[in-house]
Structure 1
């Protein structure tokens, strides 16, 4: 759970907040008008977050390249009329170059 503090108070207590994050293992959320504005996290937390972002980006690249691979002899078939309304489909994928 993160400790929340208004930005005006955080400005006055920055050194103490940094100590709480580094030595106390806390996470501090700085708010403005009660809404989250920024967060103070330890360098170790930041490294984990960046590693997670990199892993997710790598998975998205793999998924994107796999989705472009087509089996030989398999072709796309357009949706049957009315199928989109029946199943509540709001959009349809069209491959590159298809308008």
Structure 2
């Protein structure tokens, strides 16, 4: 969990906050009126966060979205009060 500190206090203790982040492994969230403004993280944490934004992770999302549909177990639909059944067919409600 990150340590939160008001912006006015962060200004006064900036050098100490940098040391806490770099050498103490802490993450610091600077706030204004109780709302987060910025976060101080180590360069290693930033590198990790930027690599997580890499679009190569989209392949995993695509593979999950192509998982086939598995039918419900017998008796499951009435047990949970499911009345409708999706057949995969599209009907135009205006016709």
Does TM-score exceed 0.5, indicating one fold?
yes
Matched, 1:26 2:26: yes
Instruction: Report the counterpart of residue 76 of structure 2 in structure 1.
Output: none
Task: Give unmatched runs, 5+ long, in structure 2.
Answer: 66-87
Specify whether residues 61 and 19 from structure 1 end up closer, same or farther in structure 2 by C-alpha distance, changes over 3 A only. Answer: same
Show CA shifts across 1:20-71 (max 9, x none).
00000000000011011100000000011111111xx22337867xx9xxxx
Which structure would you say has the larger Rg? 2
CA RMSD of aligned residues (A): 2.3
How many pairs are equivalent? 69
Specify the SS of the correspondent of 2:46. helix
